[in-house]
Amino acid sequence: MLCVRVVIVFLFSFSLAVSSTVFGQDKPPLPSKFTKMMQRAEQGFAQDAVALGMAYIRGDGIPQDPGEGARWMQKAANYGNDFAQTQLGMLYSNGEGVARDDQIAVQWFRRAAAAGNLFAVHNLSVMYFLGRGVPNNDSIGFQLALRAANGGTAPAQSNVGWSYLNGRGVQADPKEAVRWLKKAAKAKVPTAEFGVGLVYDLGRGVDQNYQEAIKWYQKAAEDGSSQALNNLAVLHRFGFGFRQDSDEAIRLFQLAAQKGNSEAHQNLVDVYLKDKNDPVQACSWVAAARSRFGSSVQWIDAIAKHCTDDSAQPSVLAATK
């Protein structure tokens, strides 16, 4: 098993995502401003319905209740408000406050996109790329992403960059990929910051430059990218742009693993076996990976059978070669 650097990934991010955290069930009397807002919303004022919907979704000044938020957002969407239509599409795509239904999500994204909402255009492009609610069609997905990107929607700019990097829906063009990724990275889109780090790391569309790669990986990591943490750890482990440092690599791999990065779990198994000669710790990370990912990650079962008891643990090293 070789140390895994996240190399070619296709990363998408929905816009206007809402929190899935739900507060307690107690519902104290509504503040007077919300009562008045409800009255106006019932009379057809879409902005008041949107404000109520967002307040319930976020728990902003009112007990959080995604179901009630979805009800008010539906009302605003029916009034023709394109922000509400986009947000309602998000709720259906995430199954928050309503039962998940990708086809209904696509319907609302289409309505908002037809009204010119570029976040909806971006989200619709993601649905085509992922084949959710519509048949997978990378070409349509790319054209929609490009439309949103040209309008200044930063997550779409990131996805256009990844499309050019991977040749998905468009002919691969690393230089064009770099141009779009840098546009989105300026807006602090983590997938784009990671992408800029990756192209400098690998020398794709730019001259290889580990210091630039480190700079952008660090930005992406600060903004929540587990992929960036994993790749920084790889650079530390092998001494690319850093002094070689297995302990720092382990620290960063662990941070990435805590965020659910499967490559980081695999790398922890590898580094504990080959750098630390510690099959017990290696097997503990195999167990952690199996607990988190089940059998959905290919390498887990192949190695886990060598970690069934203490006497078998040393054989895990042979299994990873």
pLDDT, tens digit only, all 321 positions of the chain: 456 555 444 455 554 333 333 333 345 556 778 889 999 999 999 999 999 999 999 998 888 999 999 999 999 999 999 999 999 999 999 999 999 999 999 999 999 999 999 999 999 999 999 999 999 999 999 999 999 999 999 999 999 999 999 999 999 999 999 999 999 999 999 999 999 999 999 999 999 999 999 999 999 999 999 999 999 999 999 999 999 999 999 999 999 999 999 999 999 999 999 999 999 999 999 999 888 988 777 888 888 777 875 544 555 554 555
Residue tagged 């499967």 (tokens): 262
- Predicted TM-score (pTM) of this structure: 0.86
Residue tagged 């468009």 (tokens): 170
Find out if CATH 1.25.40.10 is the number for domain 137-219.
yes
CATH top-level class for 1-21+32-123?
A: mainly alpha
Read off the tokens for 261: 């990065």
Amino acid at position 141, single letter = G
pLDDT at 138: 96
Question: d(Cα 112, Cα 7) in Å, to the nearest integer?
Answer: 35
Cite the residue boundaries of each domain of the chain with CATH code 1.25.40.10.
1-21+32-123, 137-219
Which residue, 300, 279, 220, is CA-closest to 232?
A: 220
Q: What angle do CA 28, 32, 33 make, to 5 degrees?
A: 115
Residues 6+ apart with CB under 8 A from 178: 161, 196, 199, 204, 205, 206
Residue 296 φ/ψ, nearest 5 degrees: -75, -15
Q: Which residues of 282-314 are buried (b: 16+ CB within 10 A; e: fewer)?
A: bbbbbeebbeeeeeeeebbeebbebbeeeeebe
